[in-house]
Amino acid sequence: MAGAEDTRRAAELRAAITDHNYRYHVLVEPIVTDAEYDALARELIALEEKYPELVTPDSPTQQVGSRTGDVFAPIRHVERLMSLDNVDSLEALESWRDRLARVLDGEPDGYMCEMKIDGLAVSLTYQSGVLVQGATRGDGTVGEDITANVRAIGDIPRALGAGAPTVLEVRGEIFMPVSAFAELNRRQAELGEKPYVNPRNTAAGSVRQKDPDKTGERQLSIWVYQLGHVEGAPTFARHSEAMQWLGELGLPINPDSRRVDGIDAVEAYVQDALDHRHDRDYEIDGVVVKADVLTEQAAAGFTAKSPRWAIAYKLPPEEKTTILKDILINVGRTGAVTPYAELEPVFVGGVTVTSATLHNEGELQRKDLRIGDTVIVRRAGDVIPEVVGPVLDRRPSGAEMWHMPAKCPFSGHPIVLAEGEAKARCTGGFACPSQLREYLFHFASRGAMDIEGLGYKTVDALLSNDLITDPADIFTLEPAGLLELEGWGEISVNNLLAAIEGAKDRPLARLLTALGIRMIGGTVAETLARHFGSLEAILAATPEKLEEIDGIGPEISRSLADWIGEGDNRRLVDRLAAAGVRLADPDPEERDTTLVGLSVVITGTLQDFSRDTAKAAVVERGGKVTGSVSGKTAALIAGEGGGSKLAKAESLGVPVLGEAEFKLLLADGPDAVGILNGSD
């Protein structure tokens, strides 16, 4: 039987992992490294294996594949999208070949070698040559309907050439070319916004945009690599022939794929992929090897989750050596002090790495890293570069152990390490410029108050001109002060103020996330908001009341209590309320239902609303805003410059409302503007 502590820990891990999944897959802004995530997942799996009674149906261990957000409708795949078994050495590749040769009574008659594209798997369906459906892989059985978004991707043909069969379902990988990713980040830097982490996450995030126009703006591409369900197609003897045919129909087929004979040629292909890992305009995380002859594939068959006739050769994370020039520290929004390595620039894993987090002093000492050391840097196909350790025989004489400074270099306040914690903290609160900057950026970010235009660059401008000293000041910013900022004109000022105005009305869970209370991320915030309904009720709840809730343990309730007790937090809440920020969700009974069941699309620029505020106004009244006009759209709200959507609405007979009518709709409901309350 699991004890109270294990039960509590399992609930805490479930909440944390669910939150990280959401940040990774939906917000596309992970806050932990893959290694940290894996450690949490392993701990939960171990607990559940030891005490099976701790497994809950909603445990993240019970969900396969990527978590689905709740924006897109589910789609059941006609044929399951299988995954692939992996090998990571040539010996293991040869064992796979041996097993296959045993099943087939001889080595396969040729292999198809393909790059394993590091992107997002999708299934595309064409009916009589016309693209009718796009779906994500999901858990392989059920994916999400992303038809509108794939139609917006220029590289995906909407119609195939002559000879297309009645039904053609193909699988492929949507990716962002490395060059497009670099360009996107160059623009982010220009805007003073945070760079995107890597092409894969960015492609996944772009495909999951609610507005297909946004997907279309990202320069996504696709390589199609597998035939799925087909009706009325010619029969092929080989996978390579089927691929060639797909290419002739107009689908993008990777020219780097090769049909080869014998395992030696396969190994040469793998070696070449390794040697030229970053020479292509797309990222790979391995090589896929498939038995080419289709009757051999049928004979080999499948295991529970993957074909026996194919294997993925995973490329190892890349490692390079470089010089550890200095060890500096960052102070985050909660005051957490994180040492990081300043490195002699080194090209590893497809990017030039100049710094890497060292997590905390304990980790640094465990790895025995010293300034001046030659260090090994590793970057897996994914996200965060890691300093693996020093090359000891190249250590310069006199290199000394690093210690955490006693005072914060940004604020001069003491840095303290609380008993039992790994992370040291700056005690400066909002008086620490680094803490305040990070706090404000987080506060305004997408998963929190979602204030468009309030990225690092704007935050820095506001701080250096003394326009704000804490988050509540955001809501009392005056146009006059903003207009004095360099490079700011009336339009940018109005946009920012409109976005801020809209943020006063965010759901409680968003506000709670924005407050940046330790351990209270999106999922925990949702739980608390749903349970209590108002910030006051949450802040007033006793630990006993809090811990009655599934997913809330003593660590979270302690963190809440600490937060209330800390510095100026209580005053911050009062100041937010005074500035007009809504601190409670509307009572379910009092909720505005003017637009319930109504689905609208917004296009063009409105005078008195930003996209966000217009959308919030609809959603608050129970309505829905979708990205593209369909027969189910009750009205198109069209501001200045609405383009293709306008034509679409007109062709479908969907009523088009101007801004004045939109205001009337918000105030008095669909009858006031004479539209049908059609539901979506």
Residue numbers annotated as active site: 116
Q: Nearer to ligand IVH by C-beta: 313 or 662?
A: 313
The least distance separating ligand IVH from the CB of residue 318, rounded to whole angstroms, comes to 19
Residue 554, C-beta contacts closer than 8 angstroms, at least 6 positions apart:
8, 543, 547
- Kindly report the three-state secondary structure assignment for every residue of 419-433: CCCCCEEECCHHHCH
Q: Which residue is nearest to ligand IVH (CB)?
A: 121
The least distance separating ligand IVH from the CB of residue 312, rounded to whole angstroms, comes to 6
The least distance separating ligand IVH from the CB of residue 262, rounded to whole angstroms, comes to 20
Decide if 10 contacts 47 (C-beta within 8 A). Answer: yes
What are the φ and ψ backbone dihedral angles of 374, each rounded to 5 degrees?
-85, 125
* Residue indicated by tokens 């250590």: 395
Q: Nearer to ligand IVH by C-beta: 136 or 599?
A: 136
Q: Nearer to ligand IVH by C-beta: 256 or 318?
A: 256
| Strand, coil or helix: 144 | strand
- Contacts with ligand IVH by CB under 6 A lie at 82-84, 114, 116-117, 121, 137, 173, 225-226, 288, 307, 310, 312
* Rounded CA separation 631/207 (Å): 23
Start-to-end C-alpha separation, the chain: 48
In one-letter notation, the amino acid at residue 163 is G
**Enclosing H/E stretch for 189:** helix 178-190
Q: Nearer to ligand IVH by C-beta: 28 or 310?
A: 310
CA 598 to chain centre: 29
The least distance separating ligand IVH from the CB of residue 379, rounded to whole angstroms, comes to 20
The least distance separating ligand IVH from the CB of residue 140, rounded to whole angstroms, comes to 8
* Rounded CA separation 159/129 (Å): 5
Q: Nearer to ligand IVH by C-beta: 181 or 609?
A: 181
**Helices marked H in 208-279 — which ranges?**
212-217, 239-248, 262-275
Taking CA atoms, 539 is separated from 176, 447, 546, in Å, by 44, 21, 10
Q: Nearer to ligand IVH by C-beta: 260 or 288?
A: 288
**Enclosing H/E stretch for 337:** strand 336-348
Q: Nearer to ligand IVH by C-beta: 117 or 538?
A: 117
Question: Angle at the Cα of 261 (from 257 to 263), degrees rounded to 5?
Answer: 95
What are the φ and ψ backbone dihedral angles of 340, each rounded to 5 degrees?
-140, 155
**Helices marked H in 423-514 — which ranges?**
433-444, 456-464, 479-483, 490-503, 508-514
* Rounded CA separation 479/481 (Å): 6
The least distance separating ligand IVH from the CB of residue 223, rounded to whole angstroms, comes to 7
The least distance separating ligand IVH from the CB of residue 114, rounded to whole angstroms, comes to 4
